[in-house]
Amino acid sequence: MDVKRARTVVVTGANRGLGLEFTRQLLARGDRVVAGCRQPGHADALTGLAGAHPGNLQVVPLDAADERSRTAFVAEVAAGHEAIDLLVNNAGVLPAGESFGHIDAAVLEHTLRVNTVAPLMLAQALAPLLARGVRPRVFNVSSRLGAMALTSRFGTPSYAISKAALNMATLQLAHALNPLGIGVLAASPGWVRTDMGGDSAPVTASESVHDLLEMLDRRQDLGAGEFVDRDGAPLPW
């Protein structure tokens, strides 16, 4: 395989927030990006990026919570690419207004499907393409809110539970994929100023993604399931 070819990167939840910023910065680096989002026809920012980077951005429908949508997404990725070098599992949901005594099981289950089940299933389905990549990695966007050791109050239960589960999924994936030469890593992007993070967040999406990509570049190893901050410092489980 020609290691000088442009990297191929799959980014989920790419229509806004961190996913859009990952797509923007990866394209600026010269990578080819497959951007998954629920409604490509309404993803105006991605359409603009596709025009600015002709041939390097493929926008593919993906509803991370839906098994049939994930299957169709994987099939389209496989039809157009012989190998993947990086899978950025970024798609996520953060239910608002949850309080104890009023936790909705359906909301919790949907959050788990998007934040935990989808990253695991996509990594499993795309593993054959990753195994043919150059220094391939699965990169799961997690959160400090999923760290049990850092939890000191009740809050955002569905999101926190799903991210704690994603951290375990990251470890499980590492044990399965490391023998194939595929790295696996989970990282907290920080409290980021996005639709999810809100206007009070101290970190911009541009700063967060820049730091995360720099951290991935610095690491000599591929990743064996570690959970780290955006600067690469280990985070507690």
| Structure tokens, 126 | 């795309």
Predicted local confidence at residue 5, as pLDDT: 73
**Distance separating alpha carbons of residues 4 and 114, to the nearest angstrom:** 34
- Enter the pTM of the model: 0.95
Specify the pLDDT at position 216.
97
- What string of pLDDT tens digits covers the 237 residues of the chain? 344 678 999 999 999 999 999 999 999 999 999 999 999 999 999 999 999 999 999 999 999 999 999 999 999 999 999 999 999 999 999 999 999 999 999 999 999 999 999 999 999 999 999 999 999 999 999 999 999 999 999 999 999 999 999 999 999 999 999 999 999 999 999 878 777 667 777 789 899 999 999 999 999 999 999 999 999 999 999
Look at residues 48, 41, 1, 54 and name the one whose alpha carbon lies nearest to residue 20.
48
User: Could you tell me the domains of the chain?
Assistant: 8-228 (3.40.50.720)
Residue 4: the pLDDT is 60
User: 86 CB contacts (<8 Å, ≥6 apart)?
Assistant: 7, 8, 9, 10, 133, 136, 137, 139, 216
